[in-house]
Chains A and B, each alone.
Chain A
Amino acid sequence: PVGGPCARRGLPERSVPHSAMVCNSIHWFRKGLRLHDNPALLESVQGVDTIRCVYMVDPWFAGTSSLSINRWGFLLQCLEDLDTNLRKLNSRLFVIRGQPADVFPRLFKEWNISRLSFEYDSEPFSKKRDAVIKKLATEAGVEVIVRISHTLYDIDVIIERNGGQPPLTYKHFQKLISQMGPVEMPVKMITSETMGRCTMPVLDDHGDRFGVPSLEELGFNTEGLTSAVWPGGETEALARLERHLERKAWVANFERPGMNSKSLLASPTGLSPYLRFGCLSSRLFYFKLTELYKKVKKNSSPPLSLYGQLFWREFFYAAGTNNPKFDKMEGNPICVQIPWDRNPEALAKWAEGKTGFPWIDAIMTQLRQEGWIHHLARHAVACFLTRGDLWISWEEGMKVFEELLLDADWSVNAGNWMWLSCSSFFQQFFHCYCPVGFGRRTDPNGDYIRQYLPVLRGYPAKHIYDPWNAPEDVQRAANCIIGVDYPRPM
């Protein structure tokens, strides 16, 4: 009969008599690709005999999805890392092809499952999907454990405290946050001790049936592919966290860092993709930051600005959670209806870094090559596409970022694009970023341009941001004629 000893949640392992019935659990990884601070997984292993950690991939073939090789590569590395770490716990990761609604009923039967766990995902599409899975689980007599650990707070509580609506200005959001209780502590890392008597039977052909696929198997051409600038995985994420904190401590400066040309380059302490995939727990980051601040600043209270990166993320999750149209203009109650121009040709030039504005093109090139660009670079290209120059819809820009940007997820990506195109989250005044001037002021020497647009290497700093204005002899000396070797500005 269903509803054996592990049907009741929260009972400590030993207090329940060991019945003849075997308890098998599935932990479903979606985001939250980590073993540290994973309360759903932690609870899932309590009092069960086996646990299988699954990840579903659908669509399987790269050709049918619009995500770039960098995005897939990062994800696969995250899965490999999980698998490696699970192996140390005598377990494995099960990568399964297919749609959850089709796959789960089959797995519940085949593996005789009595418990399913996963980390709560606040996005509307996920909530809908998870409601379906919960129903299927209940019908199959499977207990469901869902825990919040992708965000610092329970998003629904934030909304409740605001009268049922998400805060639509960041200032208001900060005020609400300052009135919320403390952030919950991250839970401990899963260890062999935590696993206890829980084991994972792994068959010999696991690799073939459930192994992490390679990029080639997904249909990518990996010829000439260099190693990723942003390597995926929990192990890498935790190492980066340490380096990030070390650097902050060394500088003893928690203020906003100054902007220079180096800031534009990928940093070995950058954390945003790891937060997005959940390789790094946002709560762990929050606590480590707090701890460090108190240590360096002798126990004074940390300002809200210390957690800027984390709070912005939280803000957009809250803004999107009850709005399925959050990523659209039409039908989106918080989005200004703007008569954007429809121009696929112009959009393509922007997406491919062929606008003829070196600042814009270098940024889009870095994005395509590496999967990450600095947030000011994002402002620059978003402004150029939408309200600044091309007057093309932010939805188009959002789709390109979704394809190429490692840390873009539905809520944060859509939210940022609406903000940057002046479509929502009103503040009083938005200034325009000049596609020539802004770059010049950020990196006067033009090193960033030379790195990502080698064709312009020969240009002196004076002309590199607007090479079309350079006299002919300068263009010839640089071995790059505008209109021939590099496009004229669009």
Chain B
Amino acid sequence: MKQNRVKQKLGIQPPSFVDKVNKRQMTGLVQDSETSNISCEDWGNLHYDLILHIFQYLPLVDRACASSVCRTWNKAFHMPELWRRFEFELHQPATSYLNSTHPDLIQQIIKKHADHLQYVSFKVDSSTESAEAACDILSQLVNCSIKTLGLISTARPSFMNLSKSRFVSALTVVFVNSKTLSSIKINDTPIDDPSLKVLVANNSDTLKLLKMSSCPYVSPAGVLCVADQCYGLRELALNYYLLSDELLLALSSEKHVHLEQLRIDVVSENPGETQFHSIKKSSWDALVKHSPKVNIVMYFFLYEEEFDPFFHDETPVTHIYFGRAVSQQMLGRIGMNCPRLIELVVCANGRHPMDDELICIAESCKNLTAVGLGECEVSCSAFVEFVKRCGGRLTQLSIMEEVLIPDQKYSLEQMHWEVSKYLGRVWFPDMMPTW
């Protein structure tokens, strides 16, 4: 009853409130509003649920200001519900334009709210100090039951500047103590096999998502250990060298849930340096049989001459991104061997038109809905043909204007009308500003 009255009155300044505050200032006492005899509405008297609900809409800074108003509000500010989610932003003025989470606030969280934290992320800038600070906080999260943990390097992989032992010891504090970890994002960190073992030993029942691209100290055996024991794993991101037939088979074992997403980064730092092994078709088949809807996402950052090991057999990849130039032959093989393809992005492919390859892809990749072409060349005729064969299923078609070469049959103007016709919507190529 009282709650309803209060709800109706929200937004109107109750006259007694001002008097009450003045009185408090004069007497220097902080009266517990609930024991006072004043019957009219008092902001400090709001039910905790209400205050909590309102506080959840406020950004942290405003909530913190509100918490200094009265004891009730202060108490509400510290309720566990408001501290489930936190993002620690760790920046140094010399390396970032952004503000850091205030050290006092960090201290307060560790002191009062460490055991409330469930969804935690750390955003660090390019300085080693910031990565250090993150580890420092991690080491103190002892009595917690964290579900989601994200370590995000916003500019450079600064966690890699730390000693492996320092990083690993901080991280394993959370691995050991939380026991309910379900989502872990630790790309670009010096995590290693032993720490993965610790993760698995304590969280195998709950782990659903693991992203560890560009973690050079992990070996295929380390990942296999995760796959072998974490049957609930739905999302995995790693580098190609960690992929193995055993891993795919482990992810397809009966006890495993359906895998939803597998992201693989294929990276080469210097041309010809890395040897890429192949994966057997039977391993891929097993994976798709077990998880028919799985998205297999591959990011390629290779030099043109390094594509040979890939896609000679049917490969169930669904999303392909070429971050650097890709060879003509590789594009040809996609048309032959990637029937599940949904999305294709080509950054560059050299100066040869990819007419034939594109049309082949239109024919064979019946699930293709998104295409992006950067520094490529396609004749307008071939492009129109491509779109004609794909039709309206192409919901995303991002082609840089420079890609399309006018020919006998089509000028740029004519091409874009034809393409719009086949897509069933008005379409223009993407343009970069000309100065």
A and B found bound together:
yes
Interface assignment of A341: CB less than 8 Å from any CB of chain B: yes
Do A340 and B155 have beta carbons less than 8 Å apart?
A: yes
Output the nearest chain B residue to A255 by Cβ-Cβ distance.
B406
| Pair B401/A437 contact, Cβ less than 8 Å | no
CB contacts (< 8 Å) of B435 on chain A: these are 272, 309, 312, 375, 378, 407, 412, 416
1/0 per residue, CB under 8 A from B, across A279-316: the answer is 00000000000000000000000010100110010011
Does A10 make an interface contact (CB < 8 A)?
no
Contact present for A431 and B348 (CB under 8 Å): yes
Q: Determine the chain B residues whose CB is within 8 A of the CB of A343 once the complex forms.
A: 95, 126
Kindly name the residue among A340, A431, A434 whose own CB sees the greatest number of chain B CB atoms within 10 A.
Answer: A431
Are A330 and B401 interface neighbours, CB within 8 A? no
Task: List residues of chain A with CB within 8 A of the CB of B325.
Answer: 434, 437, 441
Nearest chain A CB to B305's CB is how many angstroms away? 13
Per-residue CB contact flags for chain B residues 172-216 toward chain A (1 = under 8 Å, else 0) read 000000000000000000000000000000000000000000000
Stretch at the interface among B113-121, B328-336, B424-432: B424-432
Interface residues of B in 349-379 (CB under 8 A from A): 350-351, 372, 374-375
Q: Does A428 contact B (CB under 8 A)?
A: yes
Say which residue of B91, B93, B97, B372 sits within 8 Å of A428 (CB atoms).
B372
> How far does the Cβ of B143 sit from chain A's closest Cβ, in whole Å?
31
Contact A308 B434 (CB under 8 A): yes
Q: Bound state CA distance, A339 and B90, in angstroms? A: 11
- Return the CB mask of A315-352 against B: 1 if under 8 Å, else 0: 11000000000000110000000011111000000000
- Smallest CB gap from A395: residue in B: B97
A170 at the interface (CB under 8 A from B): yes
Cβ of B156 under 8 Å from chain A:
yes
Beta-carbon contact of A428 and B95 below 8 Å: no
For B271, the chain A residues whose CB sits under 8 A away are 469
A342 and B94 within 8 A (CB): yes
CB pair B97–A433 under 8 Å, yes or no, is no
- Name the interface residues of A426-442: CB closer than 8 Å to any CB of B: 427-429, 431-434, 437-438, 441
Tell me if B125 is interfacial: C-beta within 8 Å of chain A. yes
Total A-B contacts with CB atoms under 8 angstroms apart: 110
CA distance A272 to B351 in the complex (A): 28
Given A429-B372, A432-B323: A312 in contact with B348 (beta carbons within 8 A) = no
- Count residues of B near A (Cβ-Cβ below 8 Å): 42
Please give, as numbers and ranges, the residues of chain A lying within 8 Å of B412 by CB-CB distance: 255-256, 305
Q: How far is the CA of A420 from the CA of B155 in the complex (A)?
A: 18
Output the residue of B345, B347, B374, B435 with the most chain A CB within 10 A: B435
Contact with A along B313-339 (1 / 0, CB 8 A): 000000000011100000000000000
A369 to chain B, nearest CB (A): 18
Is A410 on the interface with B (CB-CB < 8 A)? no
The answer to whether the Cβ of A391 comes within 8 Å of any Cβ in the partner chain is yes
Q: Using Cβ atoms and an 8 Å threshold, which residues of chain B touch A171? A: 428
In the complex formed, the residue of B with least CB distance to A312 is B433
Contact (Cβ within 8 A) B431 A341: no
- Determine the residue in chain A with the shortest Cβ distance to B377: A441
CB distance from A174 to the nearest CB of B (A): 8
How far is it, in angstroms, between the C-alpha of A259 and the C-alpha of B431 when the chains are bound?
Answer: 16
Question: Which residues on A sit within 8 Å (CB–CB) of B398?
Answer: 427-429
A419 within 8 A of B: yes
Is A379 at the interface (CB under 8 A from chain B)?
yes
**In the complex, what residues of A have CB within 8 A of residue B400's CB?**
431
A393 within 8 A of B: yes
Asked if B434 and A312 make an inter-chain contact with CB atoms under 8 angstroms apart, the answer reads yes
Tell which of B154, B347, B348, B434 touches A339, judged by Cβ atoms closer than 8 Å: B154
Are A375 and B434 touching (Cβ within 8 A)?
A: yes
A441 and B156 form a contact (CB under 8 A)? no
B434 touches A429 (CB 8 A): no
Question: Does B68 touch A at the CB level, under 8 Å?
Answer: no
Q: Which of B86-118 contact A (CB under 8 A)?
A: 91, 93-98
Chain A, residue nearest B325 (CB)? A437
Complex Cα spacing A416 to B434, Å: 9
B348 touches A419 (CB 8 A): no
Which chain B residue lies CB-closest to A303? B413
**A356 interface hit (Cβ, 8 Å):** no
Q: B375's contact among A174, A375, A391, A441, by CB below 8 Å, is which?
A: A441
A272 — nearest CB in chain B belongs to which residue? Answer: B435
| Residues 235-257 of chain B, each 1 if its beta carbon lies under 8 Å from chain A, else 0 | 00000000000000000000000
Contact check, B97 vs A375: say whether CB atoms are below 8 A apart.
no
Query: Could you say which interface size class chain A belongs to?
Result: 35 or more
Q: Which of these, B324, B345, B413, B434, contacts A437 with CB under 8 Å?
A: B324
Q: Is B411 an interface residue (CB 8 A)?
A: yes
A353 adjacent to chain B (CB < 8 Å): no
CB distance from B375 to the nearest CB of A (A): 7
CA distance A469 to B411 in the complex (A): 41
* Residue with the greatest number of chain A CB neighbours at <10 A, chosen from B402, B406, B434: B434
In the complex, whether A415 has a CB less than 8 A from a CB of chain B is yes
> Could you tell me the distance in whole angstroms from the C-beta of A230 to the nearest C-beta in chain B?
14
State whether A428 touches B430 (Cβ < 8 A). Answer: yes
Please determine whether A415 and B375 come into contact, CB atoms closer than 8 angstroms.
no
Question: Which of A415, A428, A432 is in CB contact (< 8 Å) with B433?
Answer: A415
Partner of A433, one of B98, B126, B375: B375
Q: Is B123 an interface residue (CB 8 A)?
A: yes
Instruction: Decide: B432 and A342 in contact? CB cutoff 8 A.
Output: no
- Chain A contacts for B428, CB-based, 8 A: 171, 174
Q: Which of A340, A419, A434 contacts B432 (CB 8 A)?
A: A419
B434 cross-chain contacts in A, Cβ below 8 A: 308-309, 312, 375
Interchain CB contact under 8 A, B406 and A340: no
Asked if B140 is at the interface (CB within 8 A of a chain A CB), the reply is: no
Contact A434 B433 (CB under 8 A): no
For residue B282, CB closer than 8 A to chain A, the reply is no
Whether B396 sits at the interface, judged by CB under 8 Å, is yes
A256–B372 CA distance with the chains assembled, in angstroms: 21
When chains A and B are docked, how far (Å) is the Cα of A272 from the Cα of B434?
Answer: 10
Q: Chain A residues near B97 (CB, 8 Å)?
A: 329-330, 339-340, 342, 393
Considering the chains assembled together, what is the distance between the CA atoms of A462 and B123 in angstroms? 41
- Residues of the B chain whose Cβ atoms lie less than 8 Å from the Cβ of A303: 413
Task: Determine whether the beta carbon of A431 is less than 8 Å from that of B372.
Answer: yes
CA distance A420 to B435 in the complex (A): 12
**B348 and A434 contacting across the interface, CB-CB below 8 Å:** yes
Interface residues of A in 387-446 (CB under 8 A from B): 391, 393, 407, 412, 415-416, 419-420, 427-429, 431-434, 437-438, 441
A340 / chain B contacts, CB cutoff of 8 Å = 96-97, 155
Cβ–Cβ contact B155 & A391, under 8 A: yes
Shortest beta-carbon distance from B229 to chain A in Å: 36
B124: nearest residue on chain A (CB-CB)?
A: A339
Measured between beta carbons, the chain B residues less than 8 angstroms from A419 are 432-433
Q: How far is the CB of B376 from chain A (nearest CB, A)?
A: 9
A212 → chain B closest CB, angstroms: 28
Instruction: Specify which chain B residues have a CB less than 8 angstroms from the CB of A441 in the assembled complex.
Output: 325, 348, 350-351, 375
The smallest C-beta distance from A29 to any residue of chain B, in angstroms, reads 24
16 contacts between A and B (CB under 8 A): A174-B428, A256-B412, A305-B413, A312-B433, A339-B97, A339-B98, A340-B96, A375-B434, A393-B97, A407-B435, A412-B435, A420-B432, A431-B345, A432-B374, A434-B348, A438-B348
Assuming A256-B401, A431-B345, what are 9 further A-B pairs, CB within 8 angstroms? A259-B402, A341-B96, A342-B97, A375-B432, A428-B396, A429-B345, A432-B323, A434-B325, A441-B325
Task: Identify the A interface with B (CB < 8 A).
Answer: 170-171, 174, 255-256, 259, 272, 303, 305, 308-309, 312, 315-316, 329-330, 339-343, 375, 378-379, 391, 393, 407, 412, 415-416, 419-420, 427-429, 431-434, 437-438, 441, 469
Identify the 6 closest CB pairs spanning chains A and B, nearest first: A431-B374, A429-B398, A341-B155, A339-B154, A429-B372, A428-B398
